[in-house]
Amino acid sequence: MRNPPSRGAALLVAMVLVTVVTTLAAGMVWQQWRAAEVEAAERARVQAAWVLLGAQDWARLILREDARSGKPTALTEPWATPLAEARLSTFLAADREHPDESAQQAFVSGQISDAQARYNLRNLMVEGKLAPAQLAILQRLCLQVGVAADSASLIANQWALTQGQAADSQGDAPLPPQQLDDLAWFGLPAAAIARLRKVLVILPSPTPVNLNTAPREVLAGVIAGIDLGGADRLLQLRQSAPFRDLEQARNALGLSQPLPPLDLGVQSSYFEVRGRMRLEQRVLDAVALIERRAGLEVVAIQRLNLPAPAGP
């Protein structure tokens, strides 16, 4: 016996209602999930900002005290010792009656690195012109990290264009890069930028490379006439006693010509400060550029992008 038409219509209506309710429920769940993700992202952004501020305060204190000594900037100084990961609650005032569970689960760490341990691309221009000696340094640095030498010419020529040194200027000069990742504007591959990150930096003004903090590849590239073996010898000597001046380093290398003070030095003014907070499975990183000025003034001048992942 067939079902009456009314029973079939009721079944159809019930199925439609179930479909509508299921769709509405799925939409509500998705909206709640999206709201939770937005809230988590905003919370992460705020937490990263606080981590950066805390790292900057920690760095300013250490760098200011280091400047009081008047000693050369070296890796043997307290600022070069990383802040090991520690529970956030150890840095906060204890409230035994109302403990902060989030602070108990959060861990922070930090590190200061000398930005002048690398070659500053702003050194390429001397008196408004691309200096051949600086181009030669950049070429040697590229070879030290396995980047084609013609990349140095590409970077130098494009950098000169950003400074308005175009042979046939047809308008305003291009915007100069502010960070190393911006070299992609010049057409440099991401893999090459990742390799050059070890030896290059972009700072607000020209700076000498610090003999007491630079890695062997930078020393071999900046100091004409030495190879990686000579750079290793400098590294061994400065571990026991940092170089007080360029003359001491020249004598250690046995060079006949004095080291150029515009390219090399033993003091640093710019430092990169990295702060990290780990909360459960989430890790937040922040990096800032710090300048140490005359009169024990230490200020944060730029927030930096985190390094892009290296390509294959």
Q: Is residue 225 predicted with pLDDT exceeding 90? A: no
Count of helices and strands (H, E) across the chain? 8, 11
User: Same domain for 259 and 124?
Assistant: yes
Q: Tabulate helix, strand, coil % of the chain (nearest 5).
A: 50, 20, 30
26 in a structural domain: no
Assigned domain for 33 exists: no
Total domains, the chain: 2
Enclosing H/E stretch for 196: helix 190-196
The reply to whether 277 falls in a domain is: yes
Same domain, 209 and 161: yes
Q: Is 184 left (phi over 0), alpha (psi -120 to 50) or beta?
A: alpha
Question: For residues 92 and 187, what is the distance between their CA atoms, to the nearest angstrom?
Answer: 47
Residues 137 and 55 in one domain: no
Which of 93-102, 116-125, 210-219, 253-262 is least confident? 93-102
Tell me if 88 sits within 8 A of 107, measured CB to CB. Answer: yes
Q: Is the pLDDT of residue 220 over 60?
A: yes
Share above pLDDT 90 across residues of the chain, in percent, rounded to a whole number = 46
Residues 238 and 165 occupy one common structural domain: yes
Q: What is the pLDDT, as a whole number, of residue 229?
A: 92
Instruction: Measure Cα distances from 145 to 61, 184, 227 in Å.
Output: 34, 18, 13
DSSP E strands, the chain: 83-87, 106-114, 119-120, 125-126, 129-130, 200-201, 209-210, 264-265, 270-279, 282-293, 297-304
- Give the pLDDT confidence score for residue 47 in this predicted structure: 66
Same domain flag for 127 and 236:
yes
pLDDT of residue 26: 82
Domain boundaries, position 275: 46-91+101-117+269-304
- Please report which confidence band the pLDDT of residue 70 belongs to, taking 50, 70 and 90 as the band edges: confident
What average pLDDT does the chain have? 84
Asked whether residue 206 falls in the same domain as residue 158, the answer is yes
Same domain for 246 and 219, yes or no, is yes
Q: Are residues 205 and 217 in the same domain?
A: yes
DSSP designation for 83: E
Alpha-carbon distance of 191 to 309, in angstroms, equals: 9
What span, in angstroms and rounded, lies between the C-alpha atoms of 310 and 180? 13
Band (pLDDT 50/70/90 cuts) for residue 167 is: very low
Question: Residue 310 pLDDT > 50, yes or no?
Answer: no
- pLDDT band at 248; cut points 50, 70, 90: very high
Asked if 123 contacts 262 with a C-beta cutoff of 8 angstroms, the reply is yes
Of 10-24, 66-80, 220-234, 286-300, which range is least confident?
10-24
pLDDT tens per residue, range 267-302: 999 999 998 888 777 787 888 899 999 878 999 888
CATH number, residue 52: 3.30.1300.30
Question: Residue 2 domain-assigned?
Answer: no
My answer on whether 215 and 197 are in the same domain is yes
Higher pLDDT, 26 or 89: 26
The sign one gets for the Cα dihedral 218, 224, 227, 230 is negative
Which of 16-25, 34-43, 156-165, 181-190 comes out lowest in average pLDDT?
34-43
Tell me which DSSP letter residue 165 carries: -
174, amino acid identity: P
Range in 94-103, 136-145, 161-170, 222-231 with the lowest mean pLDDT: 94-103
Per-residue pLDDT band for 169 (boundaries 50, 70, 90) equals very low
Does residue 282 fall inside a structural domain? yes
Per the CB < 8 A criterion, the answer to whether 275 and 304 are in contact is no
Which residue from 267, 286, 268, 266 is spatially nearest to 276, judged by alpha carbons?
286
Structure-block tokens of residue 117 = 């341990």
Is residue 34 assigned to a domain? no
In the structure, what pLDDT confidence band is assigned to residue 166 with cuts at 50, 70 and 90?
A: very low
Exposure of 71 in the CB half-sphere (CA atoms within 13 A): 15
Among the listed residues 144, 176, 150, 151, the one whose alpha carbon sits nearest the alpha carbon of residue 162:
176
Is 48's pLDDT higher than 50? yes
pLDDT: is 226 or 99 the higher one?
Answer: 226
Are 255 and 298 contained in the same domain?
no
Whether residue 184 is found in the same domain as residue 139: yes
Beta-bridge partner residues of 106? 279
Q: Is residue 205 part of a domain?
A: yes
Q: What is the pTM of this model?
A: 0.79
Query: What is the Cα–Cα distance from 13 to 196, expressed in whole angstroms?
Result: 67
Q: pLDDT at residue 3 above 90?
A: no
Residue 285 lies in a domain: yes
In a shared domain, residues 105 and 141: no
Contact 63, 114 (CB under 8 A): no
Instruction: Report which of 51, 52, 73 is spatially closest to residue 292, judged by C-alpha positions.
Output: 73
pLDDT at 1 over 70: no
267, exposed or middle or buried, with CB in 10 Å at 0-12, 13-18, 19+? middle
Alpha-carbon gap, residue 262 to 265, rounded angstroms: 8
